[in-house]
Amino acid sequence: MAGSSLVTTAAELIDAVRTEGAEIEVGGELSGMPMLTLARGVRLRGGTLRFGAKGLRLTSDNELDGVTVLTADDEPAILNDTSVADLGTLSLRSVRTTGQVLLVAADAVRAGHVQVEGLHIDRADVRGRVDRPPAIGVETLQGAFTLWNRHADPDVAISAEVLDVSAGSAASPVRGSGVFVGGAVRVSTLRTGEVHTDGCIPHGTPDLISGGVAVGGGAIVQEVVNRGPVTTNGQNDMALDNLGEVASWTAMAPLTSRGPSGIGFVNFGSIDRLDVQAPIRTYGSGARGFNFYDGRLRHASFASIATEGDGAIGVQVSRPLPVLEIAGDLTTAGGEGRSLVKGVQVVLKAIALSVKAGGEVGAIAVGGQVCTTGDDVISVEIEGAVGRLDVSGGIVATGARSDAVHARGEIPGLDGLEVSAASGRAIVRAP
């Protein structure tokens, strides 16, 4: 590489990274190094770096290109020096790690831009991190990739473009959250590949969650795109979780939650347009498909949603939502069970579609069937307001003592639908 120095030993690398503006090419695999702090403007390319504890610490205007950084799973492979006032641009391109990538604005850091173009985190374990982003009544485990502005000062300016981040594998999910962006950061695009996580949160824990891909409070994101599947495997693990402000969120591959009290997609923040183009599937007691508990959402569309487990609601809406579309089926298989809601374990029934008091949906359109198979449940429960209900495949309750529809007031479109209950009531109307 023209203008760069080639290093082939740990001693050479330790010396080279101290020079500001140095361009360094790493030959082969180097090990036996302490944590390395890159001086301002250092660019590091190629090679494999193996550390016993922390890995590379970035300062300002650093670039990593084609570098593999290996640490213990519970160590940060890449982090930043928080005594630096301005990060400049920190660039990660075609980087692979074992261990967390942790970029934070804290202490002296008051400005900077993060540019990621291709990052895969093979393994990471962030369960032991003391500092955890706050959510609604709970804390969130940090992500294998974490970009977090911890300052409350609105004058701190952190921006980012994060492209093609993936974490874990089906055989080895990361321990904790997968991808987390939060605090007052402005992100043009957050684009993820395949993400596999297991928060390993103890059963029944009411105040701790994790997310496959999570946008935390304070973050402003123009576009989120999940190109790869997102799968979570543990208690209180959310596949996709939003507390920030997102203009457009598109999921192009399946979302799967395999643990109790997990959720396919949960929104507490603001989203203009949500488009989930592949199935949402959840498995486990209280593991729900889509929850809109708080915040703002203008238009939500889904390919299909299916839950299996007691207390596992398909869709629950508690806020105004102009448009809700499901192209295929909305189904649940379960009865009554416990689930985590806003930091409290509560008892829920596996209702397919629930519009709570305070929920107001302008139009609901389901291209397939709305169906429950559990006992003593309701397929569609409307306590709020619905401007128009259209279910092409009809509403069905097949379980014992299960009703198809409970509705308050008039629901335009309901009387024209096929509605049936095998051993319960088809429609129950309340004033």
Residue 401 is predicted with a pLDDT of: 97
Q: Which phi and psi angles does 171 have, rounded to 5°?
A: -80, -25
CB 381, CB 349: distance < 8 Å: no
* Cβ-contact 115, 158 below 8 angstroms: no
pLDDT tens per residue, the chain (431 residues)?
446 899 999 999 999 999 999 999 999 999 999 999 999 999 999 999 999 999 999 999 999 999 999 999 999 999 999 999 999 999 999 999 999 999 999 999 999 999 999 999 999 999 999 999 999 889 999 999 999 999 999 999 999 999 999 999 999 999 999 999 999 999 999 999 999 999 999 988 989 999 999 999 999 999 999 999 999 999 999 999 999 999 999 999 999 999 999 999 999 999 999 999 999 999 999 999 999 989 999 999 999 999 999 999 999 999 999 999 999 999 999 998 776 676 666 778 999 999 999 999 999 999 999 999 999 999 999 999 999 999 999 999 999 999 999 999 899 999 999 999 999 999 999 87
What is the structure's pLDDT at 12? 97
Residue 343: the pLDDT is 67
Distance CA 230, CA 239 (A): 6
Backbone φ and ψ of 415, nearest 5°: -65, -20
Rounded Cα distance, 179 and 143, in Å: 5
CA 184/CA 337 separation, integer angstroms: 37
Tokens of 350: 């596996």
Any residues with CB less than 8 A from the CB of 183 and at least 6 apart, and which?
Answer: 105, 133, 148, 149, 150, 151, 158, 216, 217, 218, 219
Rounded to 5 degrees, φ, ψ at 8 are -130, 5
The number of residues in the chain equals 431
Model pLDDT, residue 340:
66
pLDDT at 409: 87
For the chain, give every domain's residue range.
273-431
Q: How far apart are CA 260 and CA 372, in angstroms?
A: 19
CB 143 within 8 A of CB 180: yes
| DSSP letter for each residue of 108-160 | T--EEEEEEEEEEEEE-B-TT-S---B-SSSEEPPEEEEEEE----TT-EEEE
User: Rounded CA gap, 34 and 321, in Å?
Assistant: 53
Those residues whose C-beta lies under 8 Å from the C-beta of residue 117, and which sit 6 or more positions away, are 91, 92, 93, 94, 163, 164
Task: Tell which residue, 377, 379, 293, 285, has the closest CA to residue 338.
Answer: 285
State the DSSP H helix or E strand holding residue 408, giving kind and residue range, or none if neither. strand 403-408
Closest by Cα among 257, 246, 255 to 190: 246
Decide the pairing of beta strands 36-37 and 220-226: unpaired
Tokens found for residue 247: 């203009």
**Closest by CA position to 327, among listed 292, 362, 364, 381:** 364
